[in-house]
Amino acid sequence: MPPASAAVLVRVALLTLALDGATLGAAAADAFTRYDRNRDGRVTAAELNLPAAFARYDLDGDGVITRAEFDRVNAAPARTGPAGERAPVDPGITAADLASLPVDPAHPRPAELGVGRQVPDLGFRDLAGRAHRLGDWRGQAGLVIAVTSATCPLSKRYLPSLAALEPELRAQGIGLVLVNPFASEDPAEIRAQLAAHSFTAPYVHEADRALTAALGARSTTEVFLLDATRTLVYRGALDDQYDLVRNLPAPRQPHLRRAVAALLRGAPPEIAATVAPGCDLEAAPAAATARPVAVTYHRDVARILQQHCVSCHQPGGVAPFALDSLAAVRDRTRVIRRVLEQGTMPPWFAAPPAPGTPSPWAHDRSLPERDRADLLAWLASADRPEGDPRDAPLPRRAPTGWTVGTPDLVVPLSRAYRIPAGGVMPYQFDVVTTTLTEDRWVSAYEILPSARDVVHHVIVNVHAPGQPVRDHEEGATGYWAVYVPGNGAHIYPEGFARRLPAGARVSFQIHYTPSGRPVEERLRLGLVFAKTPPRHEVRTLPIPGRNLSIPPGAAHHVETASRRLPYDLPLLSLMAHLHVRGKSFRFELLPPDGEPEILLDLPRYDFNWQLRYDLRQPRLLPRGSTVRVTAGFDNSAGNPANPDPTRTVRWGPQTSDEMLIGYLEYFVPVPPRDPPAGG
């Protein structure tokens, strides 16, 4: 274990993280019980194998920690926070700890690199002089194009991996083409390398870089996965085994293999673009990412819609109509043009980063400017050209079940709920008791409605035995899992998980919206258990502003809430929650010294799309800082969603009331061997 990680565990062993006085006692009691492994009411040095933490709690130096000693240390009023809150013990996360996390580096935005677009049907000759076209592989499931070099050190290191991949791809019905963009390299040396690794795939030794330029290739180890219609599905690194400073015995992240598996399932890959190491290639105009002279439906528009819209706009999806055919799109051209011009679709509400600055968000849904321009150009054209049907993308298969894999545990609602055809339905609250006999770690979850069109959002919380379960909180004390349309599943990065205590009760607060027909709905929560104990436990910190008072008719009313951080907080994601009068939301970091910083700005909040904003890389919020959340409300008659502009609006659980909650998802280290991993 690295020294930094050991130091983290020492600090977290002093006390599990508790972020306000109301939960401190329960958290401390739970920590003592977890370390008292033989349940004899005492913690020995063998049970808490962290000398610095043990010495802090062993007040009389007799070699054991009693409950009285544990409680005495935790009750010490040495440090207090605002309003007399006792500040929790620092878990000790540092910037060095974040740098050592097994989290992939920030990935580029796929759509900005041509992913989802069609690659032209280019012709080329291989090293043996045989002529080929990319369209020659149309009869196969797909094609991998691997950029390589006879002299680049990383390309040479990856040759055995590519050689091992070739028969795998062949068995899956996927072709392989190797492309060398360096005309100066020796053909004899190239042939010797191919013979040494028994390659049989076509090898293109480019004289003009036509193929790599068309792909927009950026390095000599980059790979490209095309489907049968030459749609670019994935581009980037083969895996994470090698880079300029890394040399792993085996890859941890098999990016291309995962993308191939997704392609064969008919699904988009979870990660569609990565940065490939290797020798840099000279930038060149890329036909794969250059705007075509005339935008057509089959070649361009259908692919843009698949990339950004069809996951919701398909039969059985959460959207009210499909956009998966030319006829459907032509029927909706006016509404498509309106939402594009207004910027309300695709649903993404974070303010754009400064020009030239990459997006900090892992799943940025905003529409790239090139895609937006092409859609608007086609919609504005007189004939809205169809193009060649042979250029059409493969149909996107709608998921019919779990998207996170087969769950290890499924928690359904305790009963089905009858949703009327019309009117307003109050929030429903459901509690289910699990039968787990030991703690589990959850590495992925999914909330799967049985009738997607009536489920607006769901907040799930987990309650350990003995903890109270309160209705009408609507996440004011945090959340364990959430569902909003288009965002009901989450897979945590490797080494991260949420704790599910033995015998826990799971509470669901559900906002149903009638859809014009009566229906019964009984959603399910699917949980995937971690196969090995995680290194980091994911938790949620809420910042609620309960003292709301929004005057009648106020079109621009502002409310704030804040929370001081008594230690460095490793931030993973942010999420905002308001009701229908909410119009804007902002997270700000106010450091103890220095200028305020905007963490997330939502200038146009939308109650219908309460998205989570996951950081590409976790960041450390410094101790002593304050996180302030600011919400704008429109309680005027000009707000079409306002149920009553004549009343003063205060905090309440129903949509006719209001709320103000900012959520921060963060993590703490997991003490060793605590608890056992899932099955």
Give the global pTM: 0.75
Q: Which residue has the higher pLDDT, 7 or 429?
A: 429
Confidence at residue 76, expressed as pLDDT on a 0 to 100 scale: 42
pLDDT digits (tens, 9 = 90+) for 156-184: 999 999 999 999 999 999 999 999 999 88
Is 596:563 a contact under the CB 8 Å cutoff?
no
The pLDDT value recorded for residue 219 is 92
Q: How many CB atoms lie within 10 A of CB 414?
A: 13
Sorting pLDDT into bands at 50, 70 and 90, what band is 243? confident
Of 638, 574, 632, 628, whose CA–CA distance to 605 is shortest? Answer: 632
* Distance (Å, whole) CA 313 – CA 331: 13
Tens of pLDDT, residue by residue over 328-354, are 888 888 889 998 988 888 989 999 988
H/E segment holding residue 569: strand 569-577
pLDDT at 473: 60
pLDDT in tens, 50-65: 665 676 677 666 778 8
- What is residue 103's predicted lDDT score, i.e. its pLDDT? 54
pLDDT at 293: 59
3-state secondary structure 611-671: CEEEEEEEEEECCCCEEEEEEEECCCCCCCCCCCCCCCECECCCCCCECCEEEEEEEEECC
**For residue 86, pLDDT beyond 60:** no
Rounded CA separation 255/19 (Å): 37
**pLDDT tens digit sequence for 546-594:** 999 999 999 999 999 999 998 889 999 999 999 999 999 999 999 988 8
Quick: pLDDT tens for 442-496.
Answer: 999 999 999 888 898 899 999 988 887 876 566 677 889 999 876 789 999 888 9
Q: Is 265 a residue whose pLDDT tops 80?
A: yes
DSSP 8-state class, residue 299: I
pLDDT in tens, 100-127: 665 555 578 888 899 999 999 999 999 9
| pLDDT band, residue 3 (cuts 50/70/90) | very low
503-536 pLDDT, tens digit per residue, is 999 999 999 988 889 999 999 999 999 999 998 9
Q: Which residue has the higher pLDDT, 679 or 601?
A: 601
DSSP for 308-321, please give it: HTTTTSSTTSSSSS
Residue, of 95 and 463, whose pLDDT is higher: 463
Degrees (nearest 5) of the Cα angle 657, 662, 666?
A: 145
Closest to 212 in 3D by CA, of 132, 115, 152, 145 = 145
Can you tell me the distance from the alpha carbon of 53 to that of 49, in angstroms, rounded to the nearest whole number?
A: 9
For the chain, the average pLDDT equals 85
Label residue 401 by pLDDT band (50, 70, 90).
Answer: confident
How many CB atoms sit inside 10 A of residue 272's CB?
24
Contact (Cβ atoms closer than 8 angstroms) between residue 70 and residue 48: no
Query: Mean pLDDT throughout 410-427?
Result: 93
What's the pLDDT at 637? 96
Cβ–Cβ under 8 Å, residues 35 and 675: no
CB atoms within 10 A of CB 428: 16
Neighbouring residues of 340: CB distance < 8 A, sequence distance ≥ 6? 367, 372, 375, 376, 379
Average pLDDT of the residues in 191-196:
93
Distance CA 124, CA 129 (A): 9
For residue 11, pLDDT over 50 is answered with no
**Count of helix runs (H) and strand runs (E) in the chain:** 13, 28
Provide the pLDDT confidence category of residue 280 given band limits of 50, 70 and 90: confident
Residue 449: the pLDDT is 93
Burial (CB count within 10 angstroms: exposed 0-12, middle 13-18, buried 19+), residue 54: buried
The angle, 0 to 180 degrees and rounded to 10, between the axes of the packed helices 21-35 and 67-75 is: 150
Torsion, Cα 564 568 570 574, to 10 degrees, reads: 20
For position 32, what pLDDT does the model report? Answer: 73
- The whole-angstrom distance between residue 659's C-alpha and the CA centroid of its chain comes to 25
- Collect all residues with Cβ–Cβ distance below 8 Å to 524 and sequence separation of at least 6: 410, 411, 412, 413, 447, 448, 450
> Which whole number is the average pLDDT over 537-542?
92
